[in-house]
Amino acid sequence: MPIGVHTSTAGGISRSVARATELECTTMQVFVSSPRTWKADALKDSEVRDFKKFRKEAELAPIVVHTSYLINLATPSEEAYEKSKKLFTDELRIAKEIKAEYIVTHPGSFHDEDEKFGIKRVAMALMESAKSIKGKLPVILIENTAGGGTQIGGKLSNIGKIIKASKGVRVGLCYDTCHGFAAGYPFNTKKDGLKLISEIDEGVGLKNLKVIHLNDSKGECGSKVDRHEHLGKGKLGGAAMASFLSDKRVREIPLILETPKSDDDADTRNLKEARKLQRSKKK
């Protein structure tokens, strides 16, 4: 099971590789533009070249790109939809250029419409964006959400519907443990961990689960509160994590930690805890 963290690209995306290898990561996730702006500038050729060279030398795989937080592909607003679709397309193009295997995006909110509208809207955006770029693209992963307000993705079945509706596009699931817990999927006991695997299979299909965001949760189950916590410090149970991670149906799925970076050693501690969870079930 490859394991890594969301890695800073400060000073250039190629520098993210060194940061990941220092933590002994075997995979990693990055932004390719500022996550809170509407602009995704093309990367310099030298940065793209160095990134691909360094990640190959470091044997990091897969590379996961996370899109901007501003993107809302489910919105009924035409202006916001077109802006979101353009930004998603620009980031998808950059992800392809650096040869990332996956690109993760939040599906967004349907506001004063309904779930059916939001699902159709997201699928249409994915198809239009993918069609506008030539060549083999990274697999697009829809991340499950905490389900607050009118968010799409709190229910796994909605992500399954987006995948089915996205004709001609490779689309899968990135499952976030904090978001799922906040949305109402229990994750405290060994039984919860095994049940979640069955629920993912039923709602999305296990073959479509490509990446796991392993995060603890500050909020309670069903709280709809999207607040990540350090592993072992939140409301999720270690028994659930251990049974989930070690099950043969998911144990080779890449893990990305998005736990708080509260100090310089936070990533090191959380990676240590994640590896401990993996080993605890193997004994």
With CA atoms as reference, report the closest residue to 221 among 257, 251, 189, 185. Answer: 185
Catalytic residue among 90, 91, 226, 267: 226
> Of the candidates 94, 93, 92, 75, which has an alpha carbon nearest to the alpha carbon of residue 84?
75
143 a catalytic residue: yes
Catalytic pick among 55, 213, 216, 273: 213
279 catalytically annotated: no
**Residue 200 one-letter amino acid:** I
The pLDDT score that the predictor gives to residue 281 is: 53
Q: Which residues contact 129 (CB under 8 A, 6 or more apart)?
A: 85, 88, 89, 92
Residue pLDDT, tens place only, 169-188:
999 999 999 999 999 999 99
Q: Which pLDDT score, from 0 to 100, does residue 277 have?
A: 86
Residue 175 annotated as catalytic:
no
pLDDT of residue 280: 66
Sign of CA dihedral 187, 190, 192, 198: positive
Active site includes 230? no
Q: What does pTM read for this prediction?
A: 0.97
Catalytic residue, chosen from 102, 106, 121, 273, is: 106
Helix (H, G, I), strand (E, B) or coil at 44: coil
Residue-wise pLDDT for 193-227, tens only, equals: 999 999 999 999 999 999 999 999 999 999 999 99
Q: Are 145 and 154 in contact (CB under 8 A)?
A: yes
- Which residue of the set 6, 91, 121, 143 is catalytic? 143
Catalytic residue among 6, 19, 121, 228: 228
Specify which residues 66 forms β-bridges with: 104
Examine the residue annotation and report whether 111 is marked as an active-site residue of this protein: no
Tell me the pLDDT of the chain (283 aa) as tens digits. Answer: 899 999 999 999 999 999 999 999 999 999 999 998 999 999 999 999 999 999 999 999 999 999 999 999 999 999 999 999 999 999 999 999 999 999 999 999 999 999 999 999 999 999 999 999 999 999 999 999 999 999 999 999 999 999 999 999 999 999 999 999 999 999 999 999 999 999 999 999 999 999 999 999 999 999 999 999 999 999 999 999 999 999 999 989 999 999 999 999 999 999 999 998 877 654 3
User: What is d(CA 55, CA 27) in angstroms, rounded to the nearest whole number?
Assistant: 9
Contact of 98 with 87, CB cutoff 8 Å: no
Which pLDDT belongs to residue 17?
98
Indicate which residue of 59, 69, 82, 279 is catalytic: 69
Query: How many CB atoms within 10 Å of residue 229?
Result: 18
CA distance 61 to 78: 37
Question: What pairs with residue 174 in β-bridges?
Answer: 143, 211
Q: Let me know if 265 is a catalytic residue.
A: no
Phi and psi torsions of 62, nearest 5°:
-85, 165
* Radius of gyration of the chain, Cα coordinates, nearest whole angstrom: 18
Closest C-alpha to 5, from 159, 248, 211, 252 = 211
* Catalytic residue (choose from 176, 192, 267, 273): 176
pLDDT at 283: 38
Tell me what pLDDT residue 39 has.
Answer: 94
- Any catalytic annotation for residue 226? yes
